[in-house]
Structure 1
Amino acid sequence: MKRILLLLADGFEAAEASVFTDVLGWNKLEGDGSTEVITAGLHDRLKCTWNFTVIPEIQLDGINVTDFDALAIPGGFEEANFYRDAYDERFLEVIRAFHAENKWIASICVAALALGKSGVLKGKTATTYNFPGSPRQDQLRSFGAKVVNEPVVVDGKLITSYNPSTAFEVAFTLLEKLTTSQNCQHVRALMGFS
């Protein structure tokens, strides 16, 4: 069984988190059956950007990186205090630990900024929120990443993307990396993606 840690910061976008639970959940029931998602956060209750409340299964102090095969992180909104958790040293240390173990790390939209702040994107090609006039790509560049304006970027075992519209593609990319291309295509078809 491939275990994926879904790392949630307060203020995360529910839609960006749900793609991981849905795609990897569909795989568990209808694909090769090899994936399980476990949610984690810094608090016993987390509020999404739009006030949806989530109770993570474990808190960060209970994480043993060796128990997991991959890390997935949805982005969120500054106005909902996303960066308070995403830039917390305990949150960043989980990212560093997964990277040190050479495990897959998938992020959506501004979650790439947490990867950047952790130091794992130094010298790596990556992307983040790309709306014209947004400072986010410059912020990612300031962390040492080679920023490109592409929907989904894979460099080594790091996956980044440039806005919420890429969320499903990030989840399918992670599924393919953890299983096989054939299995991923099967799950895509079952979910109605061509």
Structure 2
Amino acid sequence: MKCAILMDNGFEELEAMGPIALLRRGGVDVDVVSVEGNEVTGRFGVTYSPAVPMDDYDFDSIDCLIVPGGPHYKKLETNDKVKKVIRKVFEDDSKVLAAICAAPTVLGKMGLLEGKNYTCFEEMNKDFGGQYHYDYTVTDGNLVTGISAAAAEEFAFAIMEKLCGKEHTDHVKASIYYDAAH
């Protein structure tokens, strides 16, 4: 399985690092893709380098696109190239689209949450035409959404379960002594 995590400067580090680390731990290939340039820096100064510039990346080769939240969402929602990639993944039934915190609002403004169950940062939820749930993660078909940075682990495991199955995901959870009840 292969994922691309798409980010611009200002992304939320925890929402990127958690999924990258846990998915890689689970044997999933994760590529860091930047909107521009060969590095990308988060809102708290953490830089991923090297990153693959999105213009040089083959999004047809992925099984999943992950979009973390953070202040960069304002740039993403106005970037036509980013929206084109998101829509292409969303419309491909063989691919998973995952967005957390502020990032699902980008999908909502694109009309992609209509008729869907989803979550996002609660204060940013608008009438996106779907059913909002105040939960850490919500999976609806090939759409996985997360509520906030606090849900980064749950979000990563929801993606992993969608890509690799429950048994594999439970094995990875056990390997890090993960217990959702604590």
TM-score (ref. length: structure 1)? 0.84
Following superposition, the deviation at residue 47 of structure 1 comes to: 2.0
Identical-pair percentage: 28
Give the Cα separation in 1 of the matches to 2:104 and 2:83. 11
Q: CA deviation at 1:73?
A: 1.2
Residue 184 of structure 1 deviates from its aligned partner by 0.5
Distance in 1, matches of 2:73 and 2:88, equals 21
- Secondary structure at 1:160 match in 2: strand
Kept after mapping to 2: 8 A contact 1:10/1:82: no
Q: CA deviation at 1:145?
A: 3.0
**What is the CA-CA distance between 1:86 and the residue it aligns to?**
4.2
1:8-57 Cα shifts (integer Å, max 9, x gaps)? 122101111011111111112xxxxxx10011121113221112222353
- Where in structure 1 do 4 or more consecutive aligned residues deviate above 4 Å? none
Equivalent-residue separation in structure 2 for 1:8 and 1:53 (angstroms): 11
Matched, 1:120 2:112: yes
1:75-129 deviation digits (Å, cap 9, x = unpaired)? 102xxx5411343111111110111212111111111112222332122121111
**Which residue of the partner structure matches residue 137 of structure 1?**
125
Corresponding position: 1:48 with 2:37: no
CA displacement 1:105-163 (0-9 Å, x = unmatched): 11111111122223321221211112xxx3x012xx2x333322222111111111212
Query: Does 55-64 or 4-13 show the bigger shift?
Result: 55-64
- Counterparts of 1:12-31 in structure 2, within 5 Å, are 12-28=11-27
Separation in 2, partners of 1:56, 1:93: 23
2:164 matched to 1:179?
Answer: yes
Is residue 73–residue 106 contact of structure 2 (8 Å, CA) maintained in 1? no
> Secondary structure at 2:43's aligned position in 1?
coil
CA RMSD of the aligned region, Å?
A: 1.6
Contact 1:95 1:118 in 2 (8 A): no
Q: Deviations over 1:153-186 (max 9, x none)?
A: 1111111121211111010011111112111011
Structure 1 runs not aligned, ≥5 long? 29-34
**Pair 1:93-2:84 in alignment:** yes
What is the match of residue 37 of structure 1?
Answer: 30
Q: Given the superposition, is the C-alpha separation of residues 121 and 56 from structure 1 closer, same or farther in structure 2, using an over 3 Å criterion?
A: farther
TM score, norm. by length of structure 2: 0.89
Question: Matched residue pairs, number?
Answer: 177
Question: Who is 1:59 aligned against?
Answer: 53
